[in-house]
Amino acid sequence: MNRVSIKDDLDLKKIADSGQCFRIKPLDDDSFRFVHMGHVLDMKHVSRDEFEISCSEEEFADVWHEYFDLDRDYRKIRKGINRDDDYLMRSAEYGKGIRILKQEPWETLISFIISQRKNIPAITAAVDTLCRGYGKKIGNSGEYSFPDARALSKLSDEEWKALKLGYREKYIRQAVLEAPDMTAFYGLSDEALMERLMGMYGVGIKVASCTALFAYGRVDLAPVDVWINRIFENEYGGENVLAGRKNAGILQQYLFFYVRGMQGS
């Protein structure tokens, strides 16, 4: 095992519990497994700024540095919050350590289509079933890659029904038929990216916002769901205080994590 030093906010458990990724597995209290783009990382917090990693330092720099968004200063973002905004201040302190993971776009899109009206354990189980059934085995790790559109295009009607995706099945099957080159979306503006994603069948503003934030790193875009709307109503008089705000997606994660934590969800 190797070690890396990370000076900025990074709490593996909070990231795992933040609802942005459905492939993270807890191994023990301080150690978590991440699967990304055919790579598997076991990572453990061993001291204040030190983390133990199962990969080489070169792989961490090439693959995982970008995945954990380590070029962005999250402490600076937290310190820039207006101190008069007590609720957001408390949320940021509670969620300190969350980072926006830069995930593979196709996996993120399909995962968040699945996520509609499902809780996190159910989403995780559905994603795992897809990967184990139709992904490629990653070495001897026991983990599997997320199946691409070509692999999913080979499923029979019976195999699709066995996945028990409900009404989401037709959306995913259409995405498979379209098989968009999602790497081509990286160069789009935020507005154009959202327009392109929402042009896909069954992809509304919530799924598009999550994909833009968690796959393309568009941190000025904030997904708004029932939890966030509840905060707007209860704490801000119905105002969307994230709209048009710099780093809105990061602030949204603090709010989302805090409100769910306070309600024991």
Strand partners, 41: 34
pLDDT of residue 265: 58
| Residue 114 backbone dihedrals phi, psi, to 5 degrees | -60, -35
User: Is domain 2-81 annotated with CATH 3.30.310.260?
Assistant: yes
CA 27 to chain centroid: 19
SS3 of 104, please?
coil
Model confidence, pTM: 0.95
Q: Helices 226-235 and 248-262, interaxial angle, to 10°?
A: 90
CATH architecture assigned to 105-216: Orthogonal Bundle (1.10)
Encoded tokens for 65? 């540095």
Q: What is the DSSP letter of 109?
A: H
Residue type for 255, please?
Answer: L
pLDDT of residue 6: 97
Share of the chain above pLDDT 90, in %: 94
Instruction: Give the domain ranges of the chain.
Output: 2-81, 105-216
Residue type for 105, please?
Answer: P
**Torsion angle (degrees, nearest 10) of CA 12, 15, 21, 22:** 60
Nearest to 143 by CA among 44, 53, 63, 27: 27
Given a contact cutoff of 8 angstroms between Cβ atoms, the answer to whether 222 and 252 are in contact is: yes
7: annotated active-site residue: no
SS3 of 119, please?
coil
Encoded tokens for 32? 């978590």
Strand partners, 137: 144
Cα–Cα distance, 12 to 139 (Å, whole number): 24
| Residue 158 backbone dihedrals phi, psi, to 5 degrees | -65, -40
Which tens digit of pLDDT belongs to each residue from 13-71?
Answer: 999 999 999 999 999 878 999 999 999 999 999 998 999 999 999 999 999 999 999 99
Average pLDDT over residues 226-238: 96
Which tens digit of pLDDT belongs to each residue from 156-213?
Answer: 999 999 999 999 999 999 999 999 999 999 999 999 999 999 999 999 999 999 999 9
pLDDT of residue 263: 79
> Which candidate in 13, 25, 96, 206 is catalytic?
206
Look at 262 and 238; give whichever has higher pLDDT: 238
Confidence of residue 257 (pLDDT cuts 50, 70, 90): very high
Mean pLDDT of the residues in the chain: 96
pLDDT at 264 exceeding the cut of 70: no
Kindly report each contact of residues 125-133 with a partner whose C-beta sits within 8 Å and lies 24 or more positions away, as own/partner.
126/163, 126/164, 126/165, 127/22, 127/23, 128/22, 128/23, 129/163, 130/163, 131/23, 133/159, 133/163
Average pLDDT over residues 135-141: 96
DSSP 155-192: --HHHHHHT--TTHHHHHHHHHHH---GGGGTTS-HHH
**Torsion angle (degrees, nearest 10) of CA 152, 155, 157, 163:** -70
Nearest to 18 by CA among 219, 204, 252: 252
Encoded tokens for 220? 């000025």
Domains 2-81 and 105-216 share a fold: no
- The least confident of 6-10, 83-87, 211-215, 261-265 is 261-265
